[in-house]
Amino acid sequence: MKYIGCLMAFLLALPASAAISTQKSKPTASKVLSGEGVSFGGLAGTGFTLLDVRRTTDTKKGLERIVIDVGDMRGAPLRGWPGYYYAELKKNPSRLVIDFAQMPNANIDQTQISSRLKSSLAVTKSTLSLDPVDSSLNLTLDLKKNTKVRVYQVAGKKTTSKVVIDLVAE
């Protein structure tokens, strides 16, 4: 029994890092969501504000980009990564739901978002809701059927942090 205890102590004392590769992997691009899937990113913090939503379209490529500007709790530009978000692409009906945690404020309302997405190639309807109980913001985009989605974050260096949504309608 004494030997088993010594053996166990020896095995536990071996460095745990010996099994971990020292090679660092390159950052990977976020995956394209088709049909169904999830994407998430950002960091937890003390609170965030939805500053703006912009849309650009490249009709030659069939690509539409929606940029969501994220600020700090006071509505000032946020340097670094945006607040935590969780994006889920649902299949039936085709819909992208993005939940922003710790985002009780928005400098833009439902009417402004609907107006900016009115002539969208991929979005048929948008809904913005704020939940004061858990201090979160939800942006729901109803999409045309078979729309592919890519959601990723951009750290704020010279400007504010962003969450970017690329949409490809087929």
Instruction: Give residue-wise pLDDT tens across range 36-79.
Output: 889 889 998 889 999 999 999 998 888 999 999 999 999 999 99
For residue 20, tell me if it sits in a domain. Answer: no
Q: Which residues contact 159 (CB under 8 A, 6 or more apart)?
A: 69, 77
Q: Which residues contact 37 (CB under 8 A, 6 or more apart)?
A: 31, 88, 89, 149
The whole-model pTM stands at 0.79
How many angstroms from the chain centroid is the CA of residue 161? 12
Q: How far apart are CA 4 and CA 54, in angstroms?
A: 65
CB atoms within 10 A of CB 36: 11
What are the helix (H) ranges across 22-119?
Answer: 110-116
pLDDT at 64: 95
The CATH number of residue 75's host domain is 2.60.40.3500
Q: How far apart are CA 70 and CA 128, in angstroms?
A: 15
With tokens 């950052």, the residue in question is 27
Residue 3: band (very low, low, confident or very high) from pLDDT cuts 50, 70, 90: low
Count the domains in the chain.
1
pLDDT top residue among 22 and 113: 113
Instruction: Give residue-wise pLDDT tens across range 80-110.
Output: 999 999 999 998 899 999 999 999 999 999 9
DSSP 94: T
For residue 116, tell me if it sits in a domain. Answer: yes
With beta carbons less than 8 A apart as the criterion, state whether 158 and 58 touch: no
For residue 91, tell me if it sits in a domain. Answer: yes
Instruction: Give residue-wise pLDDT tens across range 148-160.
Output: 999 999 999 999 9
**Is residue 132 reached through a cis peptide bond, with omega within 30 degrees of 0 on the bond before it?**
no
CB atoms within 10 A of CB 12: 8
For residue 73, tell me if it sits in a domain. Answer: yes
For residue 148, tell me if it sits in a domain. Answer: yes
For residue 64, tell me if it sits in a domain. Answer: yes
For residue 74, tell me if it sits in a domain. Answer: yes
pLDDT at 46: 87
For residue 135, tell me if it sits in a domain. Answer: yes
107-125 mean pLDDT: 94
Q: How far apart are CA 98 and CA 88, in angstroms?
A: 6
